[in-house]
Structure 1
């Protein structure tokens, strides 16, 4: 299988990227607990039919470190420059959690290159109060806080969840190893900057001008499971799907289900 790695020089940093396979382009944008390696179960599945481009966001290993941490409003410019560098004229952007900030803000650039977007367990820079009924949000936040406490006590990670920790301990440990590659990153400061960007109405996602799939996870304690459907209702051409018995990182925990949903989405483009 054809595979290449490279670095793209950007203002203030360099971006590590990998290209695996040949065919229509898929660009993967990882979450706060990941890097380019997070997508190994997707690259292995899709690369026989697609050109899979993974990259590490600025400030995330092995892209260059940034003193004080990255500014998430700089994220969208990096994949924009990367697809230009690789000569890609159209692609599908697959974004998970933090990668949703990249996706929503890239959509605002209106490059005309997007064939589709997959938003997995994320609303990106869409305002929190637009993600569902306030009472439902409050109830979910209270339940999620209790689950996060239990995860911390068990030595788990909030992005994996209690089920992965119990049923797939090796996968939960691998997730933590990937996350720890970014040990020098000030994640709470970055999270605060991301939260400060949450001002957009969901209708702004329509700027993408392409079909959109929003994937929710039934046992997510980071992103309300009902938020994906709320966003989809506000955006023409968007639809939502749910993965059952999965925490925040279903692409990692339930790759067969996640990949099947993405396969169905790609087949319809």
Structure 2
């Protein structure tokens, strides 16, 4: 057998009020992976395995998410982009590609705006980040309030069945072993109020879609068809206001599509990178 594992190392960066855990796997141009509210750096295991033979894959845990630390009052998303900037600088990554899911979209969007022209490609999976769906175009904007009511009912129905809405019923039913792993990773994040973080995310979601043009980077939205956590139809509406933005829906997938449909998700990211020369 001729297989050689990509090089891997792990470490910490110290912030004024938190410690951030990261892992670096592989060699080549850098991809940074920013996880969602239900994950941590382990969430990206299927992406790291796929991209590490060709890229330097950097997975990290946001402040407060296992095993990173946070202040006693818990993690605040307003610090996420600065934490990422500190990590990029510490590792000497320079220009990066950023792949985000859900909450990680706040990190990716704000970092890209903090350092315009420094992000080679931005992937927003199941998220619009800090871009506000209430400011998207019609007719999608008119769908938002009915969708909120329907999605709240769908989430409540899953919870009543003991299913994590962030994973979704399809993953639980069709891939029970994968769902079991998802729940283990989800359960590692404790010691803070998850709903308080969700409220802070909503408070920071105030940007108009057109604001992202200032980041000067190619953008790919990957909305999962069956997302009941964030509105999947928002991506297409917002993309029309972001020069060069692309939308690649992922069918038969819930909110954590990068976990549930990793092969399809990775293929979309590969194609996007190839298209924009990243």
Same fold (TM over 0.5): yes
Check conservation: 2:65, 2:190, Cα contact below 8 A: no
Q: CA deviation at 1:155?
A: 0.8
Q: Secondary structure at the match of 2:237?
A: helix
Q: CA deviation at 1:228?
A: 0.9
Trace 1:1-269 onto structure 2 (pairs within 5 A): 1-131=6-136, 133-268=140-275, 269=277
Distance 1:207 1:94 in 2: 18
Unaligned runs of 5+ in 1: none
Unaligned runs of 5+ in 2: 1-5
Runs of 4+ residues deviating >6 angstroms? none
Q: Secondary structure at the match of 1:116?
A: strand
Q: TM-score, normalised by structure 1?
A: 0.97
Check conservation: 1:110, 1:207, Cα contact below 8 A: no
Distance 1:221 1:35 in 2: 21
Q: CA deviation at 1:243?
A: 0.5
Q: CA deviation at 1:124?
A: 1.1
Check conservation: 2:41, 2:60, Cα contact below 8 A: yes
Q: CA deviation at 1:131?
A: 4.1
Check conservation: 1:213, 1:239, Cα contact below 8 A: yes
Q: TM-score, normalised by structure 2?
A: 0.94
Distance 1:37 1:110 in 2: 26
Q: Aligned residue pairs: how many?
A: 269
